[in-house]
A and B are shown apart, each in its own frame.
Chain A
């Protein structure tokens, strides 16, 4: 793996850790969902995406954003309602729009929207795609199936990336999902790829043909078997500690990682100090 990818994963991790710490110190308003453990997913995906592709993110979107934009300042300012916020502090952690990136806080809602953008791309910018991230739990929502049906029927350049972390809030996947995600993709005649490891280069090599297919109008579902190492939002982890799953970090443990991590932590600490000192964001409704 190249240093830049590892570094990006570690920046995301340091960012999320800092958020939980700021919460603990009473410095953040509202709620937030961190992607601790899942950082490699968007970093691997961004290597396959073009800046002109659209990304639709969800409630657990800081990694998706930071993998796309090297902008922890803007994101933290957004979450803290400070000057320089990406969306003036109105959207906060879950509702962010920038260039061709958008997130919103209602599960499943973005899939039909992503299909709409894909329909547009197909006509106006062939070769571009819309990539929508969803969790396993979001397969409970009907909108997901309505969108998959349209995408398949109309051959839309829609890539659905499922971060299957084995749990939705407090409900294990086995208790909210009948059958499998692969089976659901099959029901719509869509290709499905299961990704189990966290090796960024491997992931990209494996997914490259699938992603090219999406660009040519063959929508697809990629399912990552991943692990949420932190709580769902703040202090709400009901799982025993041993059930948290493997951390990609252990796999990459090395002096290089330690060096990159120290740099990432220092950078995010500086970002936090800077953002906390900024005046409140201003917004013209």
Chain B
């Protein structure tokens, strides 16, 4: 099953299981089924609860918050995650704050889905990875789709938190198969974190969100075959608040597609330094895209975005000195 199908199936199951759940977004209705077809079939099956909206990111995020306030639940699709910037005020100043600013807990069951990331030539306003801009907002949790986490479980967890969540979906994942791990690595899921590992003790641990995971895995494979460097990859489903048990290791890398500056990785590194400084051989190494807009032309886009090659090179250089 591909990641897009897994997402679509999860939405179908959720809508069927919870009759107070709404889904809102631009062009989500059939036969279009959303710009990336993730909502296919839903409006036909659940008329009245799956609504194609005007082009109004701020308003539909506010509507979701209203539904949540009234006790319903809502999932919003932002067509391209970049446009979540238009919904930022509703998330930062209303939805997330409402959970706690009225003195007693207000449950807010809402998820804002954001297809993000480059590699497809959509250009500067349609290719960004906005995760870092949402890090550190009280009561706002950030999740990212991965090929190793079943989306029904992830959605269920997000709605059960009863706090607004943003779910980032790297567009390049949509056509990827679920649960595929290259030989000779194995996969285990522990406390919501996917671990992809070898039998031997790793030379380093890489932390990466789901969108970057396939690229990191490819780099891990070439590092193993060409350099005999053994890496373990940790893919958290929840990016913020962040929590992860590190396997015994002296070297840690964080890989993400966000551009340089105030990255999610910096937050992760800070946490790991606080907790594990004593046993690390050096600071956590961040690998991310350049400090740049994401260009449209393929060759220029490639020069900006983090790549398998960059991951391979940084890990090799750091470990080999």
Chain A residues at the B interface, C-beta cutoff of 8 Å? 29-31, 79-81, 85, 88-95, 104-108, 137-142, 168-171, 175-177, 236, 238, 280-281, 283, 285
Contact = CB atoms under 8 A, between A and B. Distances in A.
B123 A30 contact: yes
A91 B300 contact: no
B58 A29 contact: no
A93 B296 contact: yes
B121 A92 contact: yes
A30 B121 CA distance: 4
B300 A89 contact: yes
Contacts of A90: 123-124, 293, 295-297, 300
A81 B304 CA distance: 15
A171 B300 contact: no
Interface string B50-79: 001111111100000000000000000000
Given A93-B123, A95-B124, A236-B32, A280 B299 contact: yes
Given A140-B54, A141-B55, A142-B58, A89 B121 contact: no
A177 B239 CA distance: 37
Contacts of B298: 29, 81
Interface of B: 26-27, 29, 31-32, 35, 52-59, 82-83, 86, 120-126, 290, 292-293, 295-301, 304
Among B53, B290, B300, chain A packs the most CB atoms within 10 A around the CB of B300
Given A140-B56, A280-B299, A105 B124 contact: yes
29 contacts: A29-B297, A30-B296, A31-B121, A81-B296, A81-B299, A88-B295, A89-B300, A90-B293, A90-B296, A90-B297, A106-B82, A106-B83, A106-B86, A108-B55, A139-B54, A140-B59, A141-B55, A141-B57, A141-B86, A169-B26, A169-B32, A169-B35, A170-B27, A170-B32, A175-B52, A238-B32, A281-B299, A283-B300, A285-B304
B295 A283 contact: yes
